[in-house]
Amino acid sequence: MDSADAVNEIERAPDLQSLEALRVRLLGKQGEITAKLKSLGSMDAEMRATEAPKIHALREGVTNAIAERKAALEAAELKRKLATERIDLSLPAADSVSGTIHPVSQVLDELAEIFADLGFSVAEGPEIETQWYNFTALNMPENHPARAMQDTFYLEPRPGEDERRVLRTHTSPVQTRSMEAHGAPVRLIAPGRVYRSDSDATHTPMFHQIEGLVIDKAITLGHLKWTLETFLKAFFERDDIVLRMRPSYFPFTEPSAEVDVGWSVEKGRRVVGGQQGWMEVLGSGMVHPRVIANAGLDPDEWQGFAFGTGVDRLAMLKYGMDDLRAFFDGDIRWLKHYGFRALDVPTLSGGVGA
């Protein structure tokens, strides 16, 4: 069988099933090309030297042709589905529909709405992360004590990998990934799931964070404080939100500040707003020059601020839940009590609070 014949047959495969059959016939364990590859072992050196490149080229050509045909068949299939499976979205929902929006989804929508109004885009990153992005690029080199602080889940290395990847312990790696991908200036939020080996009433092994990052030429701590104040006022829908910034330490910011928000007691309940006491809500700071450099930007040219906070915790504070674990129990009674109607889409003009 020569390469042209094989490619010809692949290009004429009428559907995904026959393409798969062809793949098995050519490249499977007992496949024709696999047999040729195996035969290299019994050739003398001279023959192998002439045959090996031919066989490898054949395998590569066939592999590529299969991938191309597969993509074409899948695209055709999608087109067919889109044309035939129409849904009339204007039909009214049936009375029996009882699903509700989970408070975390609701709060994520609220946050995206608030920050979109301030000109922030939404960025995402992978939940399975390399140690470089989760730690090293964020100025936490190996043996840095902060690595041990985060109760990290490590994955078994895949064959050929010498480093274990991790379930990301925070959304901060999206900082580096976004600067790398899009350069500067940057104005983004990065919401998403994060993982730590920890479990009690206020900790679950998976929870949600949101990261903020602003990089430009002349960004200062003043911009950071204004942004956080504006965000928290919009989120809690109160003007009497008071912030206090306390000097702190994070490896990826310098200087670093923990941000407390004032609380007061209303109708026997502690609520955000006023100034009877303080509670910590955010970590933040000016992005460390090393973090900017690790993302491929020149820290003499670019600077900015970052912040990070727990989304579930924000939901608890705003909507008055007291046990984080209930968020992830999947108990329909809890969701009925705290969930949001599907059509309550948060808008700034209508009030983000549903």
Sign of the Cα pseudo-torsion (58, 59, 62, 64, in order): negative
Q: Map residues 230-269 to x or -, x wherever contact with ligand DAH holds by CB under 6 A.
A: --------------------x--x----------------
Q: From the list 211, 317, 326, 340, which residue makes contact with ligand DAH (rule: CB under 6 A)?
A: 211
173 sits near ligand DAH (criterion: CB under 6 A): no
Q: From the list 103, 251, 283, 346, which residue makes contact with ligand DAH (rule: CB under 6 A)?
A: 283
129 sits near ligand DAH (criterion: CB under 6 A): no
Show the 3-state SS of 232-293: HHHHHCCCCCCEEEEEEEECCEEEEEEEEEEEEEECCEEEECCCCEEEEEEEEEEECHHHHH
313 sits near ligand DAH (criterion: CB under 6 A): no
Q: How far is the CB of 31 from ligand DAH (least distance, A)?
A: 49
Q: From the list 284, 303, 311, 338, which residue makes contact with ligand DAH (rule: CB under 6 A)?
A: 284
Q: From the list 170, 177, 187, 318, which residue makes contact with ligand DAH (rule: CB under 6 A)?
A: 170
306 sits near ligand DAH (criterion: CB under 6 A): yes
CB distance 110 to 346 below 8 Å: yes
Tokens of 95: 């009375």
Q: How far is the CB of 317 from ligand DAH (least distance, A)?
A: 17
Nearer to ligand DAH, 36 or 170 (CB): 170
Work out the number of other CB atoms within 10 angstroms of the CB of residue 340. 20
Nearer to ligand DAH, 305 or 338 (CB): 305
Tokens of 60: 């590569």
Q: Rounded to whole angstroms, how far apart are CA atoms 101 and 345? A: 10
Tokens of 139: 């100025």
Query: How many chain residues are in contact with ligand DAH, going by CB under 6 A?
Result: 11
Q: At what angle do helices 3-11 and 16-27 cross, to 10 degrees?
A: 160
Nearer to ligand DAH, 103 or 285 (CB): 285
Contacting range for ligand DAH; rule: CB under 6 A; set: 79-87, 113-121, 123-131, 300-308:
300-308
